[in-house]
Amino acid sequence: MPPEPVYPPSPVVAAIHFDIGSVRSEAPGSDNWAITWADDGTQYATWGDGGGFGGTNTRGRVSLGVARIRGGPRDYTGENLWGGSTAAHPATFEGKSYGLLAVNSALYLWRTGAASDDSAFAIQELYRSLDDGASWQPTGVRFARDDFPNRRGFFALTFLQFGKNNSAARDGFVYAYAPENQDNDWNVQVPGQIALLRAPVTGLTNRGAWQFFAGLDTHGKPAWASQPEKREPVFADPENGVMRTSVSYNPGLGRYFLITQQVSRYLLRNGHMGIYDAPEPWGPWSTVQLANPWCLGLQKGWKSVYWNFSPAWLSSDGTRFVLVYTGDDNWSTVEGEFRLGNRD
């Protein structure tokens, strides 16, 4: 039986269509590809375990790299900026990253783990670049497994994307999401829960400024807590689970879109991609699509890893988009369309 979504159908998006003929792939052997849109008009993206643009799984291979993307959805070019094949600057540390944000002429990167290994479940650190990604320094904001009462905590933090240089932000805060670690395994986490954090833009490098979503109060407003043990999941799917996640705001539709791995990351275990939307960063969530990406024609390899919407390649009315994702263990893009209307 196909998995059933736990959230009701979207009241805004009746269907989602991917133009499979528009799929373009680069950087064989490199995965993840979290993306953000900077004030200089270019996009920046992270990747893991490969040589990035112009590289392969072995040529230029790094644990973590950063690339710059120039151009439109059909004529873009990618270049390795920090790490990878013929990069302008060498990578200076290892790990993974699923969160990259351009704000106030700086770049911020969530580093997950200290290598391409299970340390991803133990350490989450925030880094900053003040020279357009040429170099990265730790900010001192760090979440370690021992910070949590059950010694599990969350991992693979991602930033909520609010357009060019965060200019469409709803308020003075930066938001981040993270799947809760249930079993120290790279497959989908079941039961699935996602945490929400925030910090003021002016206090991103202050660990004490970060707050955790602690549920809704009696008036339906979000409550925030400084102590991680008081956090409540902002998204939950006990049946299909969650894993690596991306979240972005679509100003044309006035909706927040969350994408996460579900069921499994493997083809042979019926891996799925869940796409959800909401009127606020904390919900209430509704289902746009829960589907097998291989059946959609998006995946060709044996595993599925990560998807996010390009904040720069979004139509003004919000209906046309470009999905940036890991295809057959590479950089891939596909154009698509939200078809509006109530499915009822």
Does 8 reside within a domain? no
Cα separations in angstroms, 263 against 76, 209, 331: 33, 34, 23
Does 140 reside within a domain? yes
φ, ψ at 171 (rounded to 5°): -160, -165
pLDDT of residue 149: 82
Does 6 reside within a domain? no
This prediction's pTM = 0.97
Distance of CA 37 to the CA centre of its chain: 13
Cα-trace Rg, the chain: 18
Structure tokens at 47: 């990747």
> Using CA atoms, how far apart are residues 150 and 193, in angstroms rounded to an integer?
15
Q: What is the pLDDT of residues 130-164, one digit of tens each?
A: 999 999 999 999 999 888 887 789 999 999 999 99
Does 271 reside within a domain? yes
Beta bridge partners of 13: 340
Element (H, E) at 321: strand 320-326
> Using CA atoms, how far apart are residues 33 and 136, in angstroms rounded to an integer?
18
Structure tokens at 175: 């938001």
Q: How many domains does the chain have?
A: 1
Q: What is the pLDDT of residues 256-267, one digit of tens each?
A: 999 999 999 999
Domain interval for residue 200:
13-340
Distance of CA 272 to the CA centre of its chain: 16
Does 3 reside within a domain? no
Does 248 reside within a domain? yes
Average pLDDT over residues 286-290: 98
Average pLDDT over residues 324-344: 90
Q: How confident is the model at residue 123 (pLDDT cuts 50, 70, 90)?
A: very high
Does 206 reside within a domain? yes
- The C-alpha angle with vertex 187 and arms to 324 and 33, in degrees rounded to 5, equals 20
Q: What is the CATH classification number for the domain harbouring 83?
A: 2.115.10.20
Cα separations in angstroms, 247 against 196, 274, 275: 11, 12, 10
Beta bridge partners of 96: 112
Q: What is the pLDDT of residues 62-111, one digit of tens each?
A: 999 999 999 999 999 999 999 999 999 999 999 999 999 999 999 999 99
Does 288 reside within a domain? yes
